[in-house]
Amino acid sequence: MLFNSFEFLVLVLVTLALYYLPLLRRWQVPILIGSSLFFYAWTNPWLLLLFLLSAFVNVATSYQVVHAAPERRFFYAALGVVSNLGILAFFKYSPLIGHSLFPDTSEAGRFLSQIPLPIGISFYTFEGISLLVDAYRERDRHAAQELVPKSIGQHVRNTTLFVAFFPHLIAGPILKAHQFIPQIKPKYLTDIDWEAFFRAVVVGYFLKIVVADNLKEQTFWIAYPYFERQSSLMLITMLFGYSMQIFADFAGYSLIAIGVAHLFGYSLPDNFNFPYISQSITEFWRRWHISLSSFLREYLYIPLGGNRKGETRTYLNLMVVMFLGGLWHGAAWSYAVWGSFHGIALAVERLSGQANRVPRTVLGRVAATLFTFGLVSLAWLLFRLPNFEQALSYLYHMGSNRSFAISGLEYLTIACILIYSLPVVLYHVWYLAQESAVGFGLQRLSYAWYGLMLFLTLTNAGPAGSFIYFQF
């Protein structure tokens, strides 16, 4: 069920009406769970069985982590984490394993290639792991029982809502148990932060419907083999447009999720902090998909030893985390290459001392920002062309098609890409200008800008399409 669909609007309104009905206040959590399961089952009801199996594993093992004998805590935590990763590996990476290890014509190859990819499995698997690890780490008995109460019924409700809460279920932000579960309590209509809801939803839908969906129509020609017949200028512009598109698409989803969560009294973490102003790859990962980068740091990088076990181990940990973070995005080796590319860039910045160094001059900061954006955009090509050979071919043609004449249609496409990319550019420029007199003036006109975005969302929507991160 798409956020930009009539069905989603009906689901939110019906759930909201039942949720705040005084007679049903004690049933708020079951109402949200029911709506969330309905939301997940909308496209493929059979995959709901897998989701419920995953939830059951996390309920059972996390309960034992807190309430079983102390000497058994590690066993149940490890069992839960391994079970989560096993489910994720089987359903997400079976086709990759099949293609890599078996001929496509073999029985094993055919079987593995036909395993369906459940939507959102990467996100709810990580959240299940978060619950297990948070419960295991919590040494204070009272705090542990806040995450995993003694009442098994209450624990089932809390855990199911934590992983199923429909605003974030399909594409995040990735939630951590210690951030979300304490928020589960009776909610009142008067507690809704209407301004936060309005701001997040208006910007989110504008980025998705006006920017990303219109750019999607223009960046279609990145696909193989169409790009082979495009000029270098067209190829460069389309890659720039795709970089704008993927930000608008994913940031738009996250903002809509955050806004809708406000309607039900829940606060979700920010997932983007103007990433395209980053002056290094290190800074980029502090600003892009923050919930994933913080999850990888807290639940993988630090447990591996972080930077506490010497330089060699630090760089190894960095590469392992980014390799696995890349592979988390999709069942193709190109995603692992994408993650490794970022890992190498992070390692080079750390080795050269550039990770946290800010250029002294304005020109230096602009150059660093453009260089970082260029590296990030080149890497995004692996998202649009997961076939590694096709991605390399695109880069080759981007450099070799300089002599191609630019047609009138190409000029029109380039103009459309620049027009629909402009809001993303201005979005970041506005952030940079906030501390200046110009920024103060823009803030005074903020509701005029929100009104303009709302108007354009209603009048200039692109063809509806699923969110890019739904495939992950």
Query: What is the pLDDT averaged over residues 164-174?
Result: 87
Helix axes 47-67, 28-41, angle to 10 degrees: 140
Amino acid at 422: L
Using alpha carbons only, how large is the chain's radius of gyration in Å?
Answer: 23
Report d(CA 324, CA 335) in Å as an integer. 9
Listed as own residue / partner, the contacts of 313-317 with beta carbons closer than 8 Å and 24 or more positions apart are 314/350, 315/347, 315/350, 315/351
HEC string for 310-373: CHHHHHHHHHHHHHHHHHHCCCCHHHHHHHHHHHHHHHHHHHHCCCCCCCCCHHHHHHHHHHHH
409-to-49, 148, 231, 240 alpha-carbon distances in Å = 48, 60, 12, 18
Report d(CA 48, CA 118) in Å as an integer. 9
pLDDT at 347 over 60: yes
* Beta carbons of 187 and 263 less than 8 angstroms apart: no
Query: What is the pLDDT averaged over residues 235-258?
Result: 95
Give one word for 21, left, alpha or beta, with left for phi > 0 and alpha for psi -120 to 50.
beta
Of 52, 75, 49, 71, the C-alpha closest to 62 is: 75
How far the first Cα of the chain sits from its last, in Å, is 16
pLDDT tens profile 302-331: 888 888 888 888 899 999 999 999 988 888
Which of 138-152, 231-245, 283-297, 325-339 shows the lowest mean pLDDT across its residues? Answer: 138-152
pLDDT at 110: 80
In sequence order, what are the residues at sequence separation of 6 or more whose Cβ sits closer than 8 angstroms to the Cβ of residue 42? 1, 7
The two three-digit tokens of residue 277, written as one number = 């102003």
Residues annotated as catalytic are 329
pLDDT at 6 over 90: no
More reliable by pLDDT, 151 or 356 = 151
pLDDT at 435: 59
Q: Where are the domains of the chain?
A: 6-191, 194-279+358-471
Q: How many CB atoms lie within 10 A of CB 385?
A: 21
pLDDT tens profile 108-139: 778 878 888 888 899 999 999 999 999 998 76
Half-sphere exposure of 224 (CA within 13 A, CB side): 15
pLDDT at 448: 85
Report d(CA 425, CA 427) in Å as an integer. 5
pLDDT at 76 over 60: yes
Report d(CA 241, CA 218) in Å as an integer. 8
* Beta carbons of 376 and 344 less than 8 angstroms apart: no
Report d(CA 203, CA 424) in Å as an integer. 11
pLDDT at 171 over 90: no
pLDDT tens profile 409-448: 888 999 999 999 999 999 998 888 875 655 556 666 778 8
pLDDT at 248 over 90: yes
Ordered DSSP codes for 88-135: HHHHHHHHHHHHHHS-TTSHHHHHHHT----TTHHHHHHHHHHHHHHH
In sequence order, what are the residues at sequence separation of 6 or more whose Cβ sits closer than 8 angstroms to the Cβ of residue 113? 94, 95, 98, 99, 104
pLDDT at 279 over 60: yes
Global pTM value: 0.91
Half-sphere exposure of 79 (CA within 13 A, CB side): 15
Report d(CA 28, CA 36) in Å as an integer. 12
pLDDT at 472 over 70: no
Report d(CA 208, CA 415) in Å as an integer. 19
Report d(CA 316, CA 347) in Å as an integer. 9
Which of 53-62, 349-358, 450-459 shows the lowest mean pLDDT across its residues? Answer: 349-358
Query: What is the pLDDT averaged over residues 377-403?
Result: 91
Identify the three-state secondary structure at position 406: coil
Amino acid at 11: L
pLDDT at 100: 81
pLDDT at 397: 92
Q: Look at the alpha carbons of 362, 366, 371, 376 in this order and tell me if their dihedral is positive or negative.
A: positive
Ordered DSSP codes for 171-217: T-PPP-HHHHGGG-S---GGG--HHHHHHHHHHHHIIIIIIIHHHHH
**Average pLDDT in the chain:** 89
The two three-digit tokens of residue 38, written as one number = 């309905």
Q: How confident is the model at residue 249 (pLDDT cuts 50, 70, 90)?
A: very high
Q: What is the DSSP letter of 429?
A: H
Q: How many CB atoms lie within 10 A of CB 350?
A: 17
Report d(CA 173, CA 176) in Å as an integer. 10
* Beta carbons of 464 and 213 less than 8 angstroms apart: yes
Query: What is the pLDDT averaged over residues 351-378?
Result: 87
pLDDT at 274: 94
pLDDT at 420: 95
